[in-house]
C-alpha cells in the first residue's frame, strides 16, 4: 500500500513556516517542499528578462538551486509574479504530485491548505506580528551580508503581506480547518511542540 500523508503549512514571510516544516519533515521522515522557492525562482528569471508566464511554464528543477533566491529583491519579484493566475496554474501539478508522494510530505507556502491541498490531513497557519517577522528577516539578511535596514525590511514584509492577502487568485489566508499558531512570543521549540501536538491529534492510530 502507498502511504500518503500531507501536512500543509501556510503563513506570511518569516513567521517560522520553513523552520517548523523542516523539523517536522525530519521527525517523521517526510519530504519537504518550500513552495515559496518556486515563486522565487520564477521571480529571479523575470528579473533576468524572461516573461513571467514563460518563466513559470519552463521552470526547471535546477532553477530552484540558484543561490540568489533568498534576496529581498527576489522576494519582491516573487510576490509580483505570484498574483498572475497563469503563473500559479503552471505550478499546481508539481506541488500536488509532491504532496501525494509515498511516505508523506510537508509543503509550506501561502495557499497550500486552501488551494493546493484542500484535503491535507494537517493544516497549520503559522503567523507572527509584522514587527517580529521583520526583525527575524533583518537578522537573516544582514547575517548573509545583505546591506539593509530594519525599516526597509519591515516595509518590504508589509508590502508583500498586502499583495499576498489581497490578490484575487489564491490569496494568503488560513484554511477554515487550519490551526493558527502565532509565533510572535514563541521560541522555535515552543512553536514546534504546538505543531507536533496537532499532528498527533490528526494522525491515524
Residues annotated in a binding site for ATP: 11-19
Contact 177, 124 (CB under 8 A): no
Q: At what angle do helices 72-81 and 150-166 cross, to 10 degrees?
A: 10
Determine the distance from the C-alpha atom of residue 168 to the mean position of all C-alpha atoms in its chain, rounded to a whole number.
18
Q: Is 17 in the site for ligand CDP (CB under 6 A)?
A: yes
Binding segment (CB under 6 A) for ligand CDP, from list 23-31, 49-57, 173-181, 187-195: 187-195
CA nearest 75: which of 168, 175, 144?
A: 144
- Per DSSP, the three-state class of 176 is coil
CA nearest 24: which of 203, 174, 193?
A: 193
Binding residues among 78-117 for ligand CDP as defined by CB under 6 A: 78-79, 82, 109-111
Binding segment (CB under 6 A) for ligand CDP, from list 53-61, 97-105, 174-182, 186-194: 186-194
The CA distance from 202 to 205, in Å, is: 9
Interface pick for ligand CDP out of 31, 186, 194, 196 (rule CB under 6 A): 186
Interface pick for ligand CDP out of 23, 25, 33, 75 (rule CB under 6 A): 75
Contact 121, 201 (CB under 8 A): no
Torsion over CA: 174, 188, 71, 149 (sign): positive
Q: Is 56 in the site for ligand CDP (CB under 6 A)?
A: no
Nearer to ligand CDP, 18 or 118 (CB): 18
Interface pick for ligand CDP out of 5, 105, 183, 195 (rule CB under 6 A): 183
Binding residues among 142-171 for ligand CDP as defined by CB under 6 A: 160, 164
Q: Is 32 in the site for ligand CDP (CB under 6 A)?
A: no
Q: Which residues are annotated as a binding site?
A: 11-19
Torsion over CA: 180, 139, 135, 75 (sign): negative
- Binding residues for ligand CDP, rule: CB under 6 A, are 11, 13-19, 35-36, 39-40, 75, 78-79, 82, 109-111, 136, 140, 160, 164, 183, 186-188, 191
Amino acid at each position: 500500500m502507498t502511504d500518503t500523508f500531507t501536512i500543509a503549512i501556510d503563513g506570511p514571510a518569516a513567521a517560522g513556516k520553513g523552520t517548523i516544516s523542516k523539523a517536522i519533515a525530519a521527525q517523521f521522515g517526510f519530504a519537504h517542499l518550500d513552495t515559496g522557492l518556486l515563486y522565487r525562482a520564477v521571480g529571479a528569471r523575470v528579473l533576468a528578462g524572461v516573461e513571467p508566464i514563460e518563466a513559470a511554464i519552463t521552470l526547471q528543477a535546477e532553477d530552484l538551486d540558484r543561490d540568489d533566491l533568498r534576496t529581498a529583491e527576489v522576494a519582491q519579484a516573487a510576490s509580483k509574479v505570484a498574483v498572475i493566475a497563469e503563473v500559479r496554474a503552471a505550478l499546481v501539478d508539481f506541488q500536488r504530485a509532491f504532496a501525494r508522494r509515498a511516505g508523506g510530505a510537508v509543503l509550506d507556502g501561502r495557499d497550500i491548505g486552501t488551494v493546493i491541498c484542500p484535503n491535507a490531513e494537517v493544516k497549520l497557519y503559522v503567523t507572527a506580528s509584522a514587527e517580529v517577522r521583520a526583525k527575524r528577516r533583518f537578522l537573516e539578511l544582514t547575517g548573509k551580508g545583505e546591506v539593509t535596514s530594519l525599516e526597509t525590511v519591515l516595509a518590504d514584509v508589509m508590502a508583500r503581506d498586502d499583495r499576498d492577502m489581497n490578490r484575487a487568485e489564491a490569496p494568503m489566508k488560513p484554511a477554515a480547518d487550519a490551526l493558527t499558531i502565532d509565533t510572535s512570543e514563541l521560541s522555535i521549540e515552543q512553536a514546534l511542540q504546538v505543531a507536533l501536538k496537532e499532528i498527533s491529534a490528526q494522525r491515524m492510530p
